[in-house]
Amino acid sequence: MSTTSTTPRSSALARGPLGRWRSLDLVTAAVLGVAFGVVFWGWDVVYNVLSPGFGFFQPAKGLLGGVWLLPAVVGALVVRRPGAALFTELVAASVEYLLGSGWSVGVLISGGLQGLGVEIAVALFAWRRWGAGVAALGGALAAALEALYEAFAYNDWVLGWDLAYGAAFVVSGAVVAGLGGAALVRALARAGALQRFPAGAEHRAAQRA
């Protein structure tokens, strides 16, 4: 049974059966995906400006990658149902692709892998833990899958550089996407934008405590 009551770690859960999405869940995840897709388009430009600065050690560019993982983390933390991370990330990747991405159709593959990484993290806790630690784990796993894909699809580096890039990406995924995504969801809850979602219930419970 799944309700908005709190678990021992104060994570509010999605209402009703986990697999039964509300229309509100679907619309909200789609809107988040579209918004992040536009952010991606802008971040592509920023990335292209900043990445030459890592010419001395190119694997350090992985530190810039966490931004691309944010939709999966935020979508999962807001909707809290199986598939939310994957759906939100794929919508964002699709918007980025339609707006014109230098990675072409590869962004859709990346979106699927990144969303899958977060899905694995929340599934490990049976969709019952939604704290910053789980978000950081999701971001880290998403980054690891993406780094593995890029090692075969894009990078022409020696193994040591691929591993260094993956490590930098995982750090960015855990901090920027994981902790940053959790902070963003808390901020949205405080602003009243998530009243009908578990994160909003958590915020109200914290205010009453």
pLDDT per residue over 5-36, tens digit each? 334 346 899 888 888 999 999 999 999 999 99
Q: Supply the mean pLDDT for the chain.
A: 92
Residues 110-123: what's their mean pLDDT?
98
Say if residue 57's pLDDT is above 90: yes
Residue 139, classified by CB atoms within 10 Å of its CB into exposed (0-12), middle (13-18) or buried (19+), is buried
Say if residue 150's pLDDT is above 60: yes
Q: What is the pLDDT of residue 102?
A: 77
The 10s digit of each residue's pLDDT in 159-180 is: 999 999 999 999 999 999 999 9
Q: Is the pTM of this model over 0.85?
A: yes
What percent of the residues of the chain are helix, what percent strand, and what percent coil, each to the nearest 5?
75, 0, 25
Q: What is the pLDDT of residue 10?
A: 62
Q: What is the pLDDT of residue 84?
A: 98
Count Cβ neighbours within 10 Å for each residue of 38-60 and write b for 16 or more, e otherwise: ebbbebbeebeeeeeeeeeeebb
